[in-house]
Structure 1
Amino acid sequence: MDSIQPKRIFFFDIDNCLYAPDLNIARMMKQRIYAYGRKIGLDEASVVKTCGSYYRNYGLSVRGLVMHHQIDPVEFDEQVDGSLPLEDIIKPDVELRAMLKSIKTRRWAFTNAGNNHARRVLKCLGIADLFEGITYCDYSEPDFPCKPEREAYDRAMCEASVDDAQLCYFADDSAKNVEAALNLGWTAVLVSPAIRTMGADKTHLQIQSIHQLPTVLPQLFN
């Protein structure tokens, strides 16, 4: 019988976590967000500042664009996330697949991206079949929650049918998202090539690449 409780679950962020940030997908996404901002009337001088402000204040630029510019979130998703040439950039990761298959927990994807983008990335990596489900942001839902808001983590637990925070493990490239998970009692791992610090009372694990996960949580692997 498995020595690890079968109810334990590992929530994995997707973008810049399951693949390396040096693929520059985030940069391409920013360029498309700015292009969309110009399309709806933001001038060249303010589009970067405005979209950046929305990202900082609302967690995602699209939330501010919906709130203040009444954009069509479905159109935004199609023209921004949906236009990324993911299949040309992200390739199957055999090492990642082997690592995920060996983890002795349930596996769940937890992203601030939309459903279509999340599924495309997982398919490109060759790991889509390894996840029980995906908690994603539905841009068409009024006031949808996103990390690092508590409501997003509560939704992830609800959708994954887990009610004990001590059973939850989490990996993300955002220090804010990791800190929010720690505040809820999750075991959290920051995936970042750069060393980042949190509050003095926050004890977290950090790795440079998701492939190093077994080195910090060996008890979860064969």
Structure 2
Amino acid sequence: MTHKPVCFFDVDDTLYNKDLNVLSLMRKKIQDYFVNELGIPADEVAPLQRKYQATYGLSLRGVQIDYNVDPLDYDRKVDQALPLDGLIKRDDKLIKMLKGMNCKKWVFTNAFKPHAVRCLKLLGVENEFDGLTYTNYLVPNFNCKPEPAAFHRAMKNAGVTDPKLCYLVDDSIKNIEAAQKMGWTTVHVAGDASTSTHGDYQIDEIHDLPNVLPELWEPHSEKMKLRRQSIGVTTAA
């Protein structure tokens, strides 16, 4: 178990800018799946999607329960069908920021592993993290943020037991609030930090993180030096 701080990073709309509108593209793919694969009337898909998101955290959980969908088919036609190439681009500023951090760095996403890794590779940061906790669509009744079980799973994967050592950087208000209840330090990537009152800190975008948590870049003991491993070979679910 680690006694070092662990900074957990969400991926979508956190590591890259919300202005790319990837979330809107995702919603459209999900709605197309509802109509084309499940035969749900077009005028019913948006409210159903919102219901699933609010109830289960992810639309996939809802359609698995109600329609018994194949999660790999869903992933192939939704997540993997997103036109991300050329949209999400290498971020040298983010790479430099992550390289300078003096703590354990962990990806914590509700996405399935292929989508998360794809985003990390497009950003050029796939080798800048110590591990990855993702939502494994193949696990029956899987948990995901903001459920406490997902946070406990991430802590176990990262080898940390003390919530006071945990930091979450996320764009989701629900995820931020859930982490705060568990005793984590939280940073809300709000798009417009001046309008957010959520989390311990608020930032406009990911590059602002050192402004609110400078301690994560300060030198520590030699024991704080960590060996990085490629996110592509990390298997923590």
When the two structures are superposed, what TM-score results if normalisation uses the length of structure 2?
Answer: 0.87
1:36-55, Cα deviation, whole Å (9 max, x unpaired):
00021101111111111111
- Secondary structure at 1:87's aligned position in 2? coil
**Which consecutive segments of 4 or more residues in structure 1 shift more than 4 A?**
none
Alpha-carbon distance in structure 2 between the residues aligned to 1:144 and 1:36: 21
Alignment partner of 1:197 is 2:197: yes
Q: Tell me the residue number matched to 2:6.
A: 9
Q: How far is the alpha carbon of 1:83 from its aligned partner?
A: 0.6
1:188-212, Cα deviation, whole Å (9 max, x unpaired):
10001232234xxxx6110011100
Q: How far is the alpha carbon of 1:6 from its aligned partner?
A: 6.3
Q: Tell me the residue number matched to 2:149.
A: 151
What are the within-5 Å matches in structure 2 for residues 83-162 of structure 1? Answer: 83-162=81-160
Q: 1:172–1:190: 8 Å Cα contact kept in structure 2?
A: yes
Q: How far is the alpha carbon of 1:86 from its aligned partner?
A: 1.4
Q: Tell me the residue number matched to 2:207.
A: 211
Q: 2:3–2:165: 8 Å Cα contact kept in structure 1?
A: no
Alpha-carbon distance in structure 2 between the residues aligned to 1:165 and 1:142: 27
- Secondary structure at 2:151's aligned position in 1? helix
Q: Tell me the residue number matched to 2:65.
A: 67
Aligned letter for 2:202? Q
Aligned letter for 1:214? P
Aligned letter for 1:110? F
Alpha-carbon distance in structure 2 between the residues aligned to 1:16 and 1:193: 9
Alignment match of 1:57 (pick from 55, 58, 63): 55
Aligned letter for 2:25? M
Alpha-carbon distance in structure 1 between the residues aligned to 2:191 and 2:18: 9
Alignment partner of 1:29 is 2:23: no
Alpha-carbon distance in structure 2 between the residues aligned to 1:204 and 1:188: 5
Alpha-carbon distance in structure 2 between the residues aligned to 1:41 and 1:196: 39
Alpha-carbon distance in structure 2 between the residues aligned to 1:7 and 1:196: 29
- Secondary structure at 1:108's aligned position in 2? strand
Q: 1:6–1:104: 8 Å Cα contact kept in structure 2?
A: no
Q: How far is the alpha carbon of 1:133 from its aligned partner?
A: 1.2
Alpha-carbon distance in structure 2 between the residues aligned to 1:96 and 1:127: 8
Q: How far is the alpha carbon of 1:213 from its aligned partner?
A: 0.5
Alpha-carbon distance in structure 1 between the residues aligned to 2:40 and 2:166: 41
Alpha-carbon distance in structure 1 between the residues aligned to 2:71 and 2:23: 19
- Secondary structure at 2:132's aligned position in 1? strand
Q: 1:6–1:105: 8 Å Cα contact kept in structure 2?
A: no
Aligned letter for 2:57? G
Q: CA RMSD in A?
A: 1.3
Q: 2:108–2:154: 8 Å Cα contact kept in structure 1?
A: yes
Aligned-residue identity in percent: 44
When the two structures are superposed, what TM-score results if normalisation uses the length of structure 1?
Answer: 0.93
Count, aligned residues: 214
Alpha-carbon distance in structure 2 between the residues aligned to 1:64 and 1:22: 28
Alpha-carbon distance in structure 1 between the residues aligned to 2:196 and 2:174: 10
